A and B are shown apart, each in its own frame.
Chain A
């Protein structure tokens, strides 16, 4: 009787959740399955039909492609640099803002501005600012007597320029999330620590950081995933150049799809990237959990 009821309940539940689940499967799973399927064919926009099965040929070609491997390496360096720097900077700013009593809304608004800007606009604006002879940046550092810097034209500098612009654009994301995390921390443990004689530095390392860990983990993960997908900024600012110093993998794959028109190859590359991101995510998650012990 009870079991029957439970079963009926479950069936009803499935009935209610069914359409939602189906929609989600369609929305999330369909493109993924389509990508996987396409990756097994020689499928180009010039001949958009699945009739030439190549097995894992696209994957082999992708991994064999020096340009793709180079793009993966550049992306790894880029992701590590932006995520780490944005996290450190974001944490410092969040801590500073957390102690601000008045006008926090104003700071929030200012901080959110870059975040709300379209990356294309960000890229265009910075390209203008960083113009070696007509840009404001070189003008300002020139006032300080510093020689003009070849921000986007020198392969060694361009990578870090891109990192810096990304930080400018996205650091608020970290600030806002970390600030929310900080605001949610209970005040009492800090008072307890104060009574025990802990100064602000110890309170930070012994209380804030560990208590903030879940927020930090999530923030890092989201940022990491988005950083891997960075595309607009390179597209607008460097086109992967000079040379191939800033050839991020998302832009590389985009070109496979829309310039080379080779969707099969692009799909295989996307899946390789997806696998790497999943591995990174799992690793970061495990690592953050292991810190607790």
Chain B
């Protein structure tokens, strides 16, 4: 049934795709950076005469919409944006066009991108398939006003014997979570416990913060049964169940953000692009009160890359667009609108630094973040991990048992991918 659906959409795509050669079609997620792109594209059309049609959908729909188009001989999208955890799958399946020749031919400078971003959503096995679009490295967002309140500082110091400050270590952060839990008006933390990707992404921070790893980088041997991983899951569960608001086990990032933006949570580990939203009075009751810091020890890196699918009806126009949207001038314009940069030249821009005083913190964050395992079956691993984490959080499985199950399935997927014997 699904296959038939796929074939028919592919057929429709085939019929409509070729009809208007000078319009490029892009599928994007409904996030702030997409809005900023939409704001600048009229200039591209004015300069080149190429119309840009951006289809904006929910993250949850993107993979489903993309796959049939990518499998088809001619799809309906000229340009796509690729989440880092699809990279392994898309490149393995051969759905993306290598960009090296086009980069060389048009003299595009890729050295400005942070190497970590390039590794995440740029280069795979030495071939450039994508240009990093924006980053969504996760950060600790916290209530600066509470943290800097002398009364709170005194109470905290009295209770824990350590000063209240931007947390330098994971334990320090956990203490703050406990300290600021004053239900029902304030919770120490809000979590995004919805499966699969919200919980999996968020918990990755806990894992890295505890000093754990997904796998041994040298051998790809999974390491989810390590004491650090178990401790990370126990931390996560306690935060959701004891220090978080009711329902956090089912929150997506928007719902969790809402709680934080209503001032009901002291902290929220989330995608850094929410930082600007906290200062938007239309969505936030804590304007000027939230600040961003790197997750203690290390957080999770994330990002999207621009790519041209093999099935792109008009790859030349597609490249023209990508080169334009990633040109230094436009990249800075997007950043000025509130985008999340991936490049050193943007972070070095004095105007932007004046506008966004947290840029150094953000840059430190990008440089210190760790990556989620990227391999062919990343989406499936996210699915598995999300399920097991959710089972543990709701108390249906012991953390150790849940991680053991996730570990085994992770191993099986790595074997299937040839990463493990």
Chain A residues at the B interface, C-beta cutoff of 8 Å:
30-31, 34-35, 38, 45-46, 48, 67, 127, 131-134, 148, 150-155, 158, 235-236, 238-245, 253-255, 257-261, 263, 266-267, 270
- In the complex the two chains form, is A46's CB within 8 Å of B93's CB? yes
The range of chain B's interface size is: 35 or more
Nearest CB to that of B402 among chain A residues? A243
- In the complex the two chains form, is B64's CB within 8 Å of A241's CB? no
Cross-interface CB contact of A242 among B249, B259, B262, B264, cutoff 8 Å:
B249
Bitwise, B249-268 to A at CB < 8 A (1) or not (0) is 11100010011001010000
Interface of chain A: mostly helix, strand, loop or mixed: loop
B297 at the interface (CB under 8 A from A): no
B92 at the interface (CB under 8 A from A): yes
Given contacts A154-B394, A255-B383, contact A241 B249 (CB under 8 A): yes
Q: How far is the CA of A153 from the CA of B66 in the complex (A)?
A: 30
Cross-interface CB contact of B390 among A148, A151, A243, cutoff 8 Å:
A243
Q: What's the A-B contact tally at a CB cutoff of 8 Å?
A: 120
B379 at the interface (CB under 8 A from A): yes
- In the complex the two chains form, is B394's CB within 8 Å of A245's CB? yes
Supply 10 A–B pairs (Cβ within 8 Å), ascending by A: A35-B1, A35-B3, A133-B262, A158-B250, A236-B60, A239-B194, A243-B396, A244-B390, A270-B1, A270-B2
Q: How far is the CA of A65 from the CA of B161 in the complex (A)?
A: 51
Which positions 365-389 of chain B face chain A at CB distance < 8 Å?
Answer: 376-377, 379-380, 383, 386-387
Q: How far is the CA of A258 from the CA of B379 in the complex (A)?
A: 10
Given contacts A133-B259, A151-B247, A158-B250, contact A258 B1 (CB under 8 A): no
Q: How far is the CA of A148 from the CA of B317 in the complex (A)?
A: 54
- In the complex the two chains form, is A260's CB within 8 Å of B71's CB? no
Given contacts A46-B92, A133-B245, A133-B246, contact A242 B67 (CB under 8 A): no
Contacts of B393 in A (CB 8 A): 242-243
- Closest Cβ–Cβ distance, residue B245 to chain A (whole Å): 5
- In the complex the two chains form, is A31's CB within 8 Å of B3's CB? yes
Q: How far is the CA of A165 from the CA of B139 in the complex (A)?
A: 35
Contacts of A258 in B (CB 8 A): 2, 63-64, 67
- In the complex the two chains form, is B376's CB within 8 Å of A241's CB? no
- Closest Cβ–Cβ distance, residue A197 to chain B (whole Å): 55
Q: How far is the CA of A289 from the CA of B64 in the complex (A)?
A: 42
Cross-interface CB contact of B247 among A30, A48, A153, cutoff 8 Å:
A153
- In the complex the two chains form, is A240's CB within 8 Å of B193's CB? no
Contacts of A34 in B (CB 8 A): 3-4
- In the complex the two chains form, is A241's CB within 8 Å of B194's CB? yes
Bitwise, B27-39 to A at CB < 8 A (1) or not (0) is 0000000000000
Q: How far is the CA of A148 from the CA of B89 in the complex (A)?
A: 42
Q: How far is the CA of A260 from the CA of B67 in the complex (A)?
A: 12
Given contacts A45-B71, A257-B2, contact A132 B394 (CB under 8 A): no
Bitwise, B387-417 to A at CB < 8 A (1) or not (0) is 1001101101100000000000000000000
Contacts of B3 in A (CB 8 A): 31, 34-35, 38, 257, 263, 267
- In the complex the two chains form, is B1's CB within 8 Å of A153's CB? no
- In the complex the two chains form, is A153's CB within 8 Å of B193's CB? yes
Cross-interface CB contact of A133 among B67, B196, B264, cutoff 8 Å:
B264
Q: How far is the CA of A274 from the CA of B370 in the complex (A)?
A: 44
Q: How far is the CA of A37 from the CA of B193 in the complex (A)?
A: 39
- In the complex the two chains form, is A131's CB within 8 Å of B247's CB? yes
B248 at the interface (CB under 8 A from A): yes
Nearest CB to that of A264 among chain B residues? B3
Q: How far is the CA of A270 from the CA of B5 in the complex (A)?
A: 14
Nearest CB to that of A257 among chain B residues? B2
Given contacts A46-B376, A241-B194, contact A153 B2 (CB under 8 A): no
- In the complex the two chains form, is B246's CB within 8 Å of A132's CB? yes
